Structure 1
């Protein structure tokens, strides 16, 4: 009985694996857009945001998001690094 439940779970888990593989390949093929003040943003869901470096000053960051039509975008923009201190 336990073996059949384990086999069923294993089969169900393997069916979902291709869905995750397709998502990562879609991100790799998505062109990177550079943010400007004129950029119209249609963000329905944020998928990922890159880590900010330990530098003092502006550093590039990227956000991967899905728009209201379900299309994936990668947006590059500038943020202040987290390495500045007031000491």
Structure 2
């Protein structure tokens, strides 16, 4: 009987831990356009800019002043253009 109780408690603990390790959902990507007002309190991450000589999409994930997380996609010039 003790073994059955121990197995039952181990199963409950494993189920509880599995629920805690599920990844949080990513914020939906908002597309930036000229004039869009952004409330940026803290930048979480920015995508790297590829070494190409063309306009490419980039993303920034940030928190606003209410603590809500946002991801915005915008266009940037690649880092591969020669300045000679």
TM normalised by structure 1 equals: 0.67
Q: Residue 33 of structure 1 aligns with which residue? A: 30
Moved over 2 A (4+): none
Gaps of 5+ in 2: 1-19
Number of residue pairs the alignment of both structures matches: 65
Out of 13, 22, 45, which is 2:42 matched to?
A: 45
Report the structure, 1 or 2, having the larger helix content.
Answer: 1
By how many angstroms is 1:40 displaced?
Answer: 1.1
Q: Alpha-carbon deviations, 1:26-51, whole Å to 9, x = none?
A: 4x2x1100001131110000000000
Gaps of 5+ in 1: 1-17
Larger radius of gyration: 2
By how many angstroms is 1:25 displaced?
Answer: 2.1
Q: Residue 75 of structure 2 aligns with which residue? A: 78
By how many angstroms is 1:86 displaced?
Answer: 2.9
